[in-house]
Structure 1
Amino acid sequence: MSMAVIGMIVGMALGFAGYFGGFGAFLLVAALGAVGFVVGRFLQGDLELGDFFRPRDEQQR
C-alpha cells in the first residue's frame, strides 16, 4: 500500500472521529495513531529502543 493511500485512510479516520465524536475523539485517534506508527516502526526494525533514551550530541548546536 502506498503512503498516499495510508495517509488518505488516516485522514478519513480522523475526520470521522472528529465529526462523530468531537474534538476529544479526534485527539484520541490521532494520539493512538502516532503510538501505533512508532510501535510499527519498532517491530519492523526501523527504530531501536535505545533511540529514545540515547543522550543528544552537544556539538549539534
Structure 2
Amino acid sequence: MSEPKWQKSSFSNDRDECIELTHEAPDEVLIRESEAPGVTIKASRAKLHTFISGVKDGTLSHPI
C-alpha cells in the first residue's frame, strides 16, 4: 500500500503546527497532527462533517 498524500490546512502556511487530512477509502478520512504523524484518527466523512459543524456553531464549545 502506498503512502497517503496528506493535505495540510491552508491556514498553517509554512508552520509545522497543523492538522492534515487524507482519504483512505471513498467515505473514510484520516486526520493527524503534523507534530505527531504516527497517530491518526479515522472517521467517516459524515461524522467529520458533524464534528466540524458542531465546533463552528458552538455546540461543542464546552467540554462534557
> TM-score by structure 1 length?
0.31
Tell me which structure has the larger Cα radius of gyration.
1
Higher relative contact order (CA 8 A, sep 6+): 2
More helix by share: 1
Q: Give the TM-score of the pair, scaled to structure 2.
A: 0.30
Higher strand share: 2
